[in-house]
Amino acid sequence: REIAAKGKVRCTKVPMVRYKGDVVRYHHPVLVYVGFRDRLRLFEGVVRQTALDIYGRAPRKIRHIGTYNCRRISLWPTLLSEHGIANGIDVAGFDFGPAPRRRAKRRSRDTSAAKAPTVDAAALPRALRRGFKVRMLKHWHATKGVGHSHHRRFLRLLAARLVQRRDIFRVLLGPSYPGHKNHFHFDVSPWRL
């Protein structure tokens, strides 16, 4: 992971796979290291459960802004980014469809950790019963607007749950970290941050 501070970056070839998402789909398939795929499945389970707890339904899509990208870490130019070995993902937001009109009993794909929704979607504000988008840039600091407090709570609860789950990611960066105002960065580097 250590590289020269200047010059062309050369990334080690690692076995990669295109992955669409099993528990929650990505808006476009991601290209990741084969070992990172299992971490993403765990992540999707936390996303799903957190959304059930806040909105009464899981998102339809996870919006990412990148996985594999052979480059340095901008703040530490002598270190290869985890994106350079397809071991990281940048997540900008989540897309939700309309709330179901009736509660149907469906079996989850992730039966190990799935629980029933703790929120009845019919009890949500009207704007949250329709489809909507949650974005880091717009909602992390949101204080006004219908549903924005829900979106802020969803993003912050998701972040807190992921920090507690030491088995998923080792590096978790968000709007408080320089250069991450509009996305979460998650990876599995050898160190924790």
Helix pair angle (148-164, 34-55), 10° resolution = 140
Residues, the chain, total? 193
Per-residue pLDDT for 47 more than 50?
yes
> Between 3 and 98, whose confidence is greater?
98
Question: Cα(71)–Cα(128) distance, rounded to whole angstroms?
Answer: 39
Token readout for 82 is 């985890």
Per-residue pLDDT for 159 more than 90?
yes
pTM of the model: 0.85
Q: 115 pLDDT band (50/70/90 cuts)?
A: low
Per-residue pLDDT for 80 more than 90?
no
Q: Of 68-77, 78-87, 172-181, which gets the smallest average pLDDT?
A: 68-77
Mean pLDDT, range 109-121, rounded to an integer: 60
Q: Is 147 exposed, middle or buried (0-12, 13-18, 19+ CB in 10 A)?
A: buried
| The predicted structure's pLDDT at residue 73 | 64
Q: Could you read off the pLDDT of 57-71 as tens digits, one per residue?
A: 999 999 999 897 766
Per-residue pLDDT for 19 more than 80?
yes
